[in-house]
Structure 1
């Protein structure tokens, strides 16, 4: 392979690697709000029962850490935890699914032939596509805020991202970070309908 072909191949591989690295930097976070909801009336919260993240009927270490992270975010915004008469129910859900990415990368290669007239070899470039298949696990974390009196969803935040291997001691920090990313999209403080900068 000629130096030009090697340089072109390396450039294409580097571009593909940077593209994949950019996608893996953090979760994609979206949110949605009920425009008719009066957020000025919400001051207290509790967790919805049964919590979607505890679909098996019992709490896990992950669900407990996620609840702690959501409670910390709500309390940082001035909401008071009240199991008896909450204004908002907080519901949490998380799930994972296997995904596949198929990446087609153009490559250049060369065929060589000998010209008897010129008495030398010539390089003829040709293009082809290389197909790479990447399997990965995608995780989704939902935070729903439900008006307790009307039993109606008023705000939802969703984080979607690739799930990598995590050491047990790092898992809690990653859960905290994902929940904090979601709550960055929640602009309200307790008892205020005006949007505010998240803490």
Structure 2
């Protein structure tokens, strides 16, 4: 009984470790002291918009304001120190796998009066079609008009991700901000 429970627990751990999470990257200008920045705002029309503010843009702005506020910066619509822009992209991707499969071919040796089976290697082609989403968060110093930080999330979009787009975006933004040069103060972590 204990062995069955152990095997079940191991299966749960194995399956949960196969969950698809986005890959997070970031880059920033290491010569800049980020503590000099006190305020942030957004470009008048960010790159996720099409002449109007989309729901995705609203989700991105909401969670970005929360993450930046946690780090001690204040949101300012007029003359902020940092301007934030978003880029999103969804691409159709395809992976082709060559999977080995062994069939066994049998034959009868008449003189030895025996059956023999030999492995017959074959390869099966598997095609995996999926969508890959990319989210970029760019921060630009308003005065110098130079990018000072960029955070990127790239990951496979599942059906569940598309059905819960708001939580998918929130999780990606929170993950991206873990790489932001200004950490969350300890008292804000609670």
Q: Same fold (TM over 0.5)?
A: yes
Following superposition, the deviation at residue 27 of structure 1 comes to 0.2
Moved over 3 A (4+): 166-169, 195-199
Please, which runs of 5 or more residues in structure 2 have no aligned partner? 1-13
CA RMSD of aligned residues (A): 2.2
How many pairs are equivalent? 174
Aligned to 2:4: none
Q: 1:157 to 1:108 in 2, by over 3 A?
A: same
User: Could you tell me how far 1:126 is from its partner in structure 2?
Assistant: 2.0
Q: Which residue of 1 aligns with 2:113?
A: 119
Aligned-partner Cα distance in 2 for 1:177–1:167: 10
Paired with 2:83 and 2:161, the residues of 1 have a C-alpha distance of 31
**Equivalence for 1:171:** 165
Which of 37, 47, 54 pairs up with 1:52? 47
Partner Cα separation in structure 2 for residue 50 and residue 87 of structure 1: 17
Counterpart mapping for 1:137-176 below 5 A: 137-166=131-160, 170-176=164-170
Normalising by the residue count of structure 1, what TM-score does the alignment of the two structures yield? 0.80
After superposition, give the CA deviation of every residue in 1:85-105 in whole Å (9 maximum; x if it has no partner). 200001111110000011111
1:38 paired with 2:33, answer yes
Q: CA deviation at 1:175?
A: 1.2
